[in-house]
A and B are shown apart, each in its own frame.
Chain A
Amino acid sequence: MSGPTKVDDTTAAPAPARKRRSGTIPARWRWIALALLLAAAVYAPFQLVPFHVFQLTMVLVYAVALLGLNLLVGHAGQISLGHGAFFAIGAYTSAVLVDRLDVPYLLTLPLAAAVAFLVGFGLGVPAMRLRGLYLALVTLAIAIFLVPLLKRFEELTGGSMGLTLPKPVPPAWSGLAEDQWLYFLALGVAVLAFLVAASLLRSRVGRALHAVRDNEIAAEVMGVRLSSYKTLAFAWSAMFAGVAGCVYTWVIGFVSPDSFTVNLSITLLAGLVVGGLGSLSGPVLGGLFVMFVPSISQDINDAAPGVIFGLLIILVMYVAPQGLAGLAGRLIKKIPRKE
Chain B
Amino acid sequence: MAGFLQQVVQGLGAGAIYASLALALVLIYQFTGIVNFAQGELAMFSTYVAWQCMAAGLPFWVALPLTLVVSFAGGMLIERVIIRPVEGAPELTIVIVTVGLFIFVNAAAGWIWTFLIKDFPNPFPGGALELGGVSLSFSTLGVLGVVALVMGLLYLLFQHTKIGLGMRAVAANPASARLVGIRVGWTLALGWGLAATVGAVSGVLVAPLLFLEPNMMAGVLIYAFAAATLGGFDSPLGAVVGGLVVGVAETLAGAYVGFIGSDLKVGVPLVIILGVLLLRPQGLFGRAAVERA
Q: Which residues of A contact B (CB under 8 A)?
A: 13-18, 73, 77, 79, 81, 126-127, 129-134, 136-138, 140-142, 144-145, 148-149, 151-152, 217, 262, 266, 269-270, 273, 301-307, 309-314, 317-318, 321
Contact = CB atoms under 8 A, between A and B. Distances in A.
Contact of B93 (A140, A152, A321): A321
Contact of B107 (A130, A142, A152, A306): A306
B273 A314 contact: no
Main secondary structure of the interface of B (DSSP, over half): helix
A24 B267 CA distance: 48
22 contacts: A13-B86, A16-B90, A16-B93, A18-B90, A77-B92, A81-B37, A134-B281, A136-B35, A136-B37, A140-B225, A144-B218, A144-B266, A145-B270, A270-B103, A301-B111, A303-B108, A303-B111, A304-B107, A310-B107, A310-B108, A313-B103, A321-B93
B104 A307 contact: yes
Nearest to B111: A303
A13 B109 CA distance: 30
Contacts of A311: 100, 104
A304 B90 contact: no
A303 B114 CA distance: 8
A183 B270 CA distance: 38
A101 B105 CA distance: 44
Nearest to A73: B92
B99 A269 contact: yes
Contacts of A270: 99-100, 103
A74 to B, nearest CB: 9
Interface in B158-203: none
A321 B97 CA distance: 11
B263 A152 contact: yes
B263 A138 contact: no
Contacts of B214: 303
Given A136-B37, A141-B222, A79 B104 contact: no
Contacts of B269: 141
Given A138-B273, A141-B222, A129 B99 contact: no
B62 interface: no
Given A17-B90, A133-B35, 4 more contacts: A13-B86, A13-B89, A313-B99, A313-B103
A129 B278 contact: yes
A283 to B, nearest CB: 16
Contacts, number: 157
Contacts of B101: 310, 314
A324 to B, nearest CB: 15
A134 B229 CA distance: 9
B264 A313 contact: no
B88 A13 contact: yes
Contact of B89 (A15, A152, A301, A312): A15
Contacts of A132: 91-92, 95
Interface in B68-89: 82, 85-86, 88-89
B208 interface: no
Contact of B92 (A16, A142, A313): A16
B293 interface: yes
Given A133-B35, A148-B264, A313 B107 contact: no
B285 interface: no
Contact of B102 (A79, A126, A141, A310): A310
A144 B225 CA distance: 13
B263 A266 contact: no
B86 A14 contact: yes
B229 A313 contact: no
A136 B266 contact: no
A297 to B, nearest CB: 10
Contacts of B85: 14, 318
Contacts of A81: 37, 99
A273 B96 contact: yes
A141 B218 contact: no
B274 A138 contact: yes
Nearest to B83: A314
A140 B274 CA distance: 12
A136 B96 CA distance: 10
B213 to A, nearest CB: 12
Contact of A317 (B86, B108, B267): B86
Contacts of B100: 270, 273, 309-314, 317
B4 interface: no
A79 B278 contact: no
B277 A134 contact: yes
Nearest to A132: B91
A331 to B, nearest CB: 23
B225 A141 contact: yes
B87 to A, nearest CB: 9
A153 to B, nearest CB: 11
A47 B97 CA distance: 40
B102 A266 contact: yes
Contacts of B82: 314
